[in-house]
Amino acid sequence: MFTNTLFLLSAVLTLGGAAAVVYTKNLMHSCVYLLASLFGVAGLYACIGADFLAATQLVVYAGGVVILMLFAVMLTGGSGNNINRYGLEKITAMGNTKTFFMAGLTAVVTSLVILKILASVFKSHSATVLTANEATVDKLGTLLATDHILAFEISSVLLLGALVGAAVISRPRKEKHD
């Protein structure tokens, strides 16, 4: 029952977020919908017992979307005139019904993913035979720190290069005076 509910909510969140990314015209809303879609994918990974992929999806990709939003604001320069008639800065609206619905669905799926991951940790060990969906985090961590350390380091240098490139692109240009 729990896995079926998690699957259905994750599928709705993934497909709904992806459709909203395509159809929205606001850059920031698009990033939030992409974040919701990535949380849904993490829920789908948790449904099939891929706990490492679910945690990686939450940490790497969801964190990457937050960075994407920051760079999108930096690249576009933010909004224009936000001063009201009294000379005070206007506070922009935080969202509408769709964004609150997607945020609520994301919170439910995230809670279910965390419960699914923690359920395997707190489950009492019985004398039964393990299924094919046993936890792989220990094995993957050991392999990344020993046999596959070069690939791990190359990917970290690649991500650092992408971050430096984004910072160079987003900085303001100096005009030449002749």
**pLDDT band at 70; cut points 50, 70, 90:** low
Cβ(44)–Cβ(7) below 8 Å: yes
Nearest CA to 46 among 126, 109, 124? 109
Tell me which fold the domain 2-80+93-121 belongs to: Four Helix Bundle (Hemerythrin (Met), subunit A) (1.20.120)
**pLDDT at residue 15 above 90?**
yes
Alpha-carbon distance of 68 to 53, in angstroms, equals 21
Instruction: Enumerate the domain spans of the chain.
Output: 2-80+93-121
pLDDT in tens, 123-156: 655 555 556 666 667 777 787 788 878 877 887 8
Nearest CA to 35 among 75, 74, 73, 68? 68
The pTM of the whole model exceeds 0.75: no
pLDDT in tens, 77-134: 555 555 555 555 555 556 677 778 888 888 888 888 778 777 776 665 555 555 666 6
